[in-house]
Each structure stands twice: as structure tokens, then as C-alpha cells.
Amino acid sequence: MLDLDSRLDFGLFKGFRWSREIVERFVVFMDRFYVGGWRRWLLVEPTSEALTLGLVGLVLMLALAIPAFNETSDEDWLKKSELAVVFLDRYGNEVGARGIKHNDSVPLEDFPDHLIKAVLATEDRRFYEHFGIDIAGTLRAVVTNARAGGVVQGGSSLSQQLAKNLFLSNERTIERKVKEAFLAMWLESRLTKNEILKLYLDRAYMGGGTYGVDAAAQYYFGKSARDVTLPEAAMLAGLFKAPTKFAPHINLPAARARANVVLDNLVEAGFMTEGQVFGARRNPAKTIDRRDESAPNYYLDFAFEEMRKLVDKLPKSISERAFVVRTALDPGLQQVAEKAIEDAIKQYGRDYHAKQAATAVADLDGGIRAIVGGVDYGESQFNRASDALRQPGSSFKPYVYAAALMSGLKTNSQVIDGPICVGNWCPKNYSGGFSGATTMVSALTRSLNTVAVWLTRKAGGGNDRAGRNKVVALAKAMGLTTPLTDTPSLPIGAGEVRVFEHTVAYATFPNGGKAVRPHAVLEVRTGMGETIWRFDRDGPQPREVMSPQVAADMNFMMNKVVEEGTARRAILNGIKAAGKTGTTNAYRDAWFVGFTGNFVCGVWFGNDDYSPLNRMTGGSMPAMVWHTIMEYAHQGIELRNIPGLPPNPAQIGPRIAENGSDVPRPAMLSSKGAQSLVRIERLLDEAARAAAVATTPKLGPQTEAPALVPGATAAAGPVLPAVRRD
């Protein structure tokens, strides 16, 4: 031990001595570079500080750039965004298209010179001079906006705008602007200027459901972008800033005024003289009148987003980028839903201080039949049915009651309507009072807030947090994907949900406890007609999340809400219905979500700025609009019964009087006929595949890929619309 100790001491001594010698030598060496006096303060110190700050800046830039570059992690990012999708309704009729048109894409050199100049003069005059970020243009925009006291001039370069279109959303946040800047420089390093310009002209949204300059020229002027005149080019260039505001089919005077601004830009940028644009000022562009054309744009946007996600999951062997997609869309029901929303806002919006509404209608297998994301797609393309997060209020309570039933309670179990507190939070009922002991059925019918909190505690075995965790788990299993924050007020609807998810989650109850996934896409075919995906074959199957008995008990209680409770305005003549109303704090949101044995439908009213409504409850306008939509949906169809409720009085849905609906409901097939059509379509598909691999001298017409069979939907239930009568 003494020997070891001496060796350790000697080693430390030698180590410290060598370290001291090394430091001394380093100090002597560095003394050679010592600079004093004015040279130190004017040269060395500023350079040293600049290097330090530069290093910190580089580290900071790297930290900010990593999230932006994560958006480009997909090596196939350029190709995957180039989708061309033609959408069909459930009957096989074409209803619209989204994405880029590959087959007739116009090369950059074929675009007219005045169109290119109009775009550059308006969007980015220094496009060919900057590195992706126009610093001079950005500073100029900042000064101009500061003088005007608002945003009157954009500072984003054309490359930044393309980066946003390719990788980012339209949210106005600092994080998005930082990502946009880095991605713009990344694009500049990967693509040539002409490639960036071409992509920008092809990818930008131009209003009217069109993407790209060529599609917009076809839509507004009925001609290719190759043939547009100067006034038409000016109108197209004016659409990049605000396509919904300046779309000529919505506001032609505004579109022409914007085109005149573009002509001014051409002169200011030196691209043209005043004499060259004089004729375009005197003879503005004339557009095709499309005011009477109606397309289910909210639905098409929703289906296109679903299709983009679906394409990413297709096998790598599928290289197609153009598809024909059959959706669950019921065009008549979509039209009625849009009109019901529009009429309700026009008639009662001012009284209730309501400016927006949304609805979704779905089959019990999750197929979205109709979706309306707002009052006017022309004014706002934001889909409030699929993208907005709103508090559901009391319409969230069925998740709570179902969790309580799953924990052992019964519909006739005694519950307590009395004062209850979770920490410092003590909920009150809408009436302001308490009724003491009551039953679960009565509590849900009267929508008692205190009972919902009491049941949550009961479901958790006396632990509020455990009870809320069970409720959240059930809600997610039924189909809610939004984060539900664990707060004491969660049981009475303080979380946030999306309209279409909240609606389809209710389908679990009439489905006997089986949850389904909301979807718009039923079938995907290539441009050659080959079926590559079907929801019934490749989509997720229903999954049991509660027992059939619990679902039947919930149906029984929620039927009482419609027939005896807060949703009596939703009663359908001759059709059993169930559902739940919802009204949030300060009347910011009003809901009614309900179902029959055939469909589920949810309706929401509110304001985008979260301003309160004028005491609108879920049992008023939402229930009335729900009644209008569902009354039309059930005309002449084979009615299905709701588990746990008495059978419907009739087997076929009643017809509305001649003047009761502006949209006639087509005749419906029986469930047996619908199933026969589905079998026939599958046999035709199998025959087409067999014929494709057969070696025959000549392919006859019978070996071609069969046309889509109208009415034979992949996700068809017992009731399907009839074959369209062309």
C-alpha cells in the first residue's frame, strides 16, 4: 500500500509539473501575438467579438433550420406533391378535381411573355437577383407597412411563397416565417430559377378550386394559359395575393381593379411602357360566368387531403400520380346541407349574432356523405368541419355516460344532482339549481352538468383524475384524435374537437359499440381504370370499444334527449332518432350531434373570433338544421332500427311534400339490391384482372376494365342510392 501510495503521489507530481510547463510554453508562444494600444481596441477586440457572435449566430441558425429541413425529409418531396385527382360521387358521376394536371401541363417557355412579366412585377421583381430572400424587398415592405399602419405590401419572395405552398400551412406565425426563409434558400440550392418559377405557376391556388395558372385560365377564360391576352394575364397575376377576394367569378369589379394594379406594377418595374398597357386598361378581361355553377368545394378539399395521406401509404410499386377517386359524397344531400346552413345564417344569424356554421353527415360505416365547412366557400376556404377545433359543450357528455355504464352503472342507477367541487372548481347547472337524487336517464335528458362530473368520479372509483383518464381513453377509441387536456371541466365539454370526428364517433352507439373511421374515399383507380385501393378491402375495419349492451343503453338515453329533452326540435316524423345537444361557456358554441339507424349528423354554430352567440343553444338552430338535413336524407330509403329502441313505425322513410325540398331525393335500392350490385362489381373487377393476364390474340371490349357501377359503393351499407338515370 505504501508503494502504491508513493507511485500515485509521484505520478500526480509529474503530471502537475508537465501541465505547468505546457501552460508556460503556451503563454510564451501566445505572447508573440500580443497586440496592445489602439490596434487592440480597433482591430483585435471587434474581430474577436464578431467571431464570437458569429459562432453563436451560426448555432442559433442551425437550431432554427433543423425544423425547417425536417419538412424536406421525404426524398420524393417534389413528386409526391404533384397529384392529379378526379373525384366521383357515390353514383360514379364526376363532381370535381384537385391537384396538378400532368397531362397538359404547359412548359415555362410556352407561357406568354406578358404573363411572366405580370407575375414577376407583382410578386417578386428581383426574383432573378436574390438568393431566395429579397432583403431589399423585405426592408421596403417593412417601411411601407410601417408608414401605412398595417400590412399593405408583402415581403415574401416568390421562392418563399413556393416553400409555403410545398411544405407549410397558411398559419401566420413567426415559426412558419422562419421555416419559410430557410426552405426558400434550400429550394434555391436544389432548383434553378426557372424551375422555381414553373413550380410556382403550377402549384399556387388561384380560386374557384383551381391550382396553377393553366387551370385558372381554363376556368376563368376557357382557354389555355398559352393564349391569354395582356388584360387576362394581369387578372391572373392579381389572384396570387388573395384568390378568394379577387376571383372574378365572385367579385368581378374587385378582380378588374386588382388587374389594373398589376398593370401599374408592370410600368413601375420597367417591364412595359404606359403605352403598351393602355389598351389593357381600356379593355379589361372578360370572364366566363360561373356564378350558377356549384361544386362541393368543402367536400373536395376534405377528400383531397385524405387522398394525399392515402397516397403516402400506397405500395412503392405504384408510381401513378393521377387518380380517379370514388367518394361517399351524396350530391343531393350535400346541396341540402349547404342550403340549410346558408338559410339558417341568413334568417337567424343576425338575431343570434352567428356568422358561421358547419356540418357533417356520414353513414354508420364512417363514409362522409356531406360536409359543409362554412357559410360561403367563396369568402373563406377554411373548413370548419374538418380543421377547426371547438369546445363540444354538453355534446361531450355521451362519452362520460358511456364510461360510467362501462364501469358498472345502469340507466336507472341513482345519481346525485347536487353541489360538487373538483379542487376550486364547482360546476353549476344551466337552470342554476339542483334536483337531488335522480336517474342517469333523467340527468342526460336534462343535461345536468353536476351529474357528468359526479359520473366521472364514479367511473374512476372515486378518483376524479382516474375517471377523466377513462373518459379520454374511450373518446379516443371512438374516434377523437385531438388532444383532450385533462382539466376538471373536461366532463362537461371543455376540450376541443373537430366536427367530423365528433360526429362519426357518435356512430359507435347505433353500431352496437363498434367504432368506425371517418372517410371520404371509397375507391381509388389509376387513370387506366385499375382499382388499387378500396376502403372495404384495404381500410380499417370497425373495432369494438364498448359492449352492445352499453351501446343499447346509450341509445335509449340519447333517444330521450330527442323525444323528451333539450333536442325536441330534432324529432323526425316516423323515424327514431337519438343525440345530444351542446352549448359552451358564454354561448360561444352551439351543437347538436345525433343519429338514426341509417346516418349520423353533427351541426355546429359559432363565430371564427370566438365571440359569443346571443343565447343560442344546441336545441335551437343546430337541432333545426339537423332536422332539415336528416329529413331529406331519409326520404324513400329502407329504414334501419337503432339497437335498444323500438322499431321504426315504417320500413321506408316518408317523402317530403313537393314544395318541402328544392332537391328531389332519388329513389333508393333495397338492401338486397344494393348487396347484389356490390357482388356484381366485385365479379367484374375479378374478370377484368383475369382478362388482363390472359394471353389472347385480341382483347375484346368485355376484357376492358369495367366502368364504375353507379350505386355500388365499397363501403355500402344495407341502403344504397339507385342507379342514376342518364
List pLDDT tens digits, range 519-541: 999 999 987 888 999 999 999 99
List pLDDT tens digits, range 550-597: 999 999 999 999 999 999 999 999 999 999 999 998 899 999 999 999
List pLDDT tens digits, range 259-302: 999 999 999 999 999 999 999 999 999 988 776 567 899 999 99
Whether pLDDT at 686 is above 80? no
pLDDT value of position 701: 39
Instruction: Band the pLDDT of 199: cuts 50, 70, 90.
Output: confident
pLDDT value of position 673: 61
If phi > 0 it is left, if psi is from -120 to 50 it is alpha, else beta; for residue 609 that is alpha
Contacts of 277 (CB under 8 A, 6+ apart): 230, 263, 266, 267
The burial of 58, by beta-carbon neighbours within 10 Å (0-12 exposed, 13-18 middle, 19 or more buried), is given as: exposed
Q: What percentage of the chain has pLDDT greater than the value 90? A: 57
**Measured between alpha carbons, how far is 369 from 332 in angstroms, rounded to an integer?**
10
**Measured between alpha carbons, how far is 465 from 536 in angstroms, rounded to an integer?**
38
pLDDT value of position 215: 85
Q: Is the whole model's pTM more than 0.95, yes or no?
A: no
CATH class of the structural domain 105-282: mainly alpha
Lowest average pLDDT, out of 205-209, 408-412, 564-568, goes to 205-209
Mean pLDDT on 147-160 = 68
Lowest average pLDDT, out of 151-155, 229-233, 239-243, 592-596, goes to 151-155
Cell numbers given for 74: 421525404
Per the model's pLDDT, the better-predicted residue between 455 and 677 turns out to be 455
Architecture of the domain whose range is 293-389+498-540+591-648+667-677: 3-Layer(aba) Sandwich (3.40)
Lowest average pLDDT, out of 86-90, 150-154, 407-411, goes to 150-154
**Measured between alpha carbons, how far is 573 from 592 in angstroms, rounded to an integer?**
18
List pLDDT tens digits, range 55-74: 887 787 777 667 666 666 66
Whether pLDDT at 697 is above 80? no
Give the count of beta carbons closer than 10 Å to the beta carbon of residue 36: 8
**Measured between alpha carbons, how far is 21 from 13 in angstroms, rounded to an integer?**
12
**Phi and psi at residue 44, to the nearest 5°:** -70, -50
Whether pLDDT at 512 is above 70? yes
Mean pLDDT of the chain: 85
Instruction: Band the pLDDT of 172: cuts 50, 70, 90.
Output: low
How many angstroms separate the Cα of 330 from the Cα of each of 10, 368, 484, 651, 666? 91, 9, 32, 21, 10
pLDDT value of position 557: 97
Q: What percentage of the chain has pLDDT greater than the value 70? A: 84
